[in-house]
Amino acid sequence: MNRTLLALFVIVIGFGACKKTTDPLIQYNAQKAIDDKIIADYLAANPGLNAKRIDTSGVFYSIKAGEEGSGNDLFTSSTQVTVGYTGRILTSQVVIAQTNDFHPSYRLSDVIRGWQLGIPKIKKNGKIRLFIPSRYAYGPYPQDSLHLPANSVLDFDIQLYNVIN
């Protein structure tokens, strides 16, 4: 009887150890490490970008000299920005969105968190390149309309045409 209970206990523990974690914090931290490595590797392979990190978020940006824009605009969550952009999946450089000659306007609070952090780094008529970990984009949620898989690290070229407060 004791052997049967011991065997059953070992089997239950064994299967429990093989189970994939459903703890959201563990999953978040694991994906964070993956995203941060993807961005770090890309930037190391492209040192000419001179990318800088925005605080502790893991979002990086690159602004070429002379492309900062001009003005003294203040950005809040209700600031409306008019932009042109090309968005790519960083790992494959597959374009997921592009505005071409159409320049949409968005309230800053309505865009992904990576844009909320990055766009205020430039002024009107400025250009910026953002490297955005999935947690500051769409996270574990695939975006079928963009053909964007879950946990995609994004690379955006953005031109800021107008700022309205």
Q: Is residue 86 in some structural domain?
A: yes
Total number of domains in the chain: 1
Q: Which CATH number fits the domain that encloses residue 73?
A: 3.10.50.40
What digits encode the pLDDT tens for the residues 112-128?
999 999 999 999 999 99
pTM of the model: 0.85
Q: In terms of DSSP H, where are the helices of the chain? A: 2-18, 24-45, 113-118
Question: Residue 114 in contact with residue 154, Cβ under 8 Å?
Answer: yes
- For residue 19, name the pLDDT band (cuts at 50, 70, 90): low
pLDDT digits (tens, 9 = 90+) for 25-45: 999 999 999 999 999 999 999
Whether 11 is in a domain gets the answer: no
* Nearest residue to 63 (alpha-carbon basis) of 55, 54, 72: 54
Residue 57 placed within a domain: yes
Which structural domain range is residue 127 located in? 21-164
- Does residue 96 form part of some domain? yes
Q: Is residue 14 part of a domain?
A: no
For tokens 């974690």, the residue is 21
